[in-house]
Amino acid sequence: MARNTLARSMHDVGLAAWFGGTLANAVALNAAAAQAGSPNKTGAVANVGWDRWTPVNAAAIGSHLIGSVVQLADNAPRIKGQRGVGSMVMLKTALTAISLAATAYSRALGKKVSAQTDVPAESGTEPAATTPPDVASAQRRLAVLQWAVPAVTGALVVVSAFAGEQQRASEVHKGILRRALG
């Protein structure tokens, strides 16, 4: 197995940005938008922030996915030969798919909210009493998704750390031996 520092870096840095950026925006941006001075400006501030984050997030996700695919290809023999690695790969793949789906759904809802920049809001994810019903509904869903995306990508960080531990020489030898012995 050869080193592939570039692929690992793309995987790790992309995932770190995806996780950290969405967490920071949920913790800080959505709440800070409420300080805009008026309900009509609150939505606009949150929308500008999230819209500016979107291309960076897309690049981070792309980097993570490219790094993941290259690592999968490079580790194919170990995935087949080392007991436990295949199930870890399946878990990582499932978490990645869930993260992608939650991110895509969040972006679709975010587009609905940001299409109407002058709509009043209490915060980035909390509608005001006068927020139109369709935008208010999207904001309420985003209130949940703003935490779901970092939760699932955070789980992906943890599973990735476990995957790194599986690559220790002692773990590879034990896993191959266990596979061979059944």
Cα separation, 91 vs 22, whole angstroms? 21
Mean pLDDT of 117-133: 88
C-alpha triplet 52, 39, 57: angle, nearest 5°: 15
Cα separation, 131 vs 98, whole angstroms? 30
Mean pLDDT of 129-156: 95
Q: Which residue has the higher pLDDT, 36 or 73?
A: 73
Mean pLDDT of 121-125: 89
pLDDT band at 56 (very low <50, low <70, confident <90, very high): very high
pLDDT for residue 104 is more than 60:
yes
- The conformation of residue 124, written as its DSSP 8-state character, comes to S
pLDDT for residue 1 is more than 70:
no
Query: What pLDDT is recorded for position 162?
Result: 92
Q: What is the mean pLDDT of the chain?
A: 91
> Number of helices and strands (H, E) in the chain?
7, 0
Place of tokens 């949940």: 144
Mean pLDDT of 155-182: 83
Contact 172, 78 (CB under 8 A): yes
Mean pLDDT of 42-52: 88
- Domains in the chain: boundaries: 5-181
Query: What pLDDT is recorded for position 59?
Result: 98
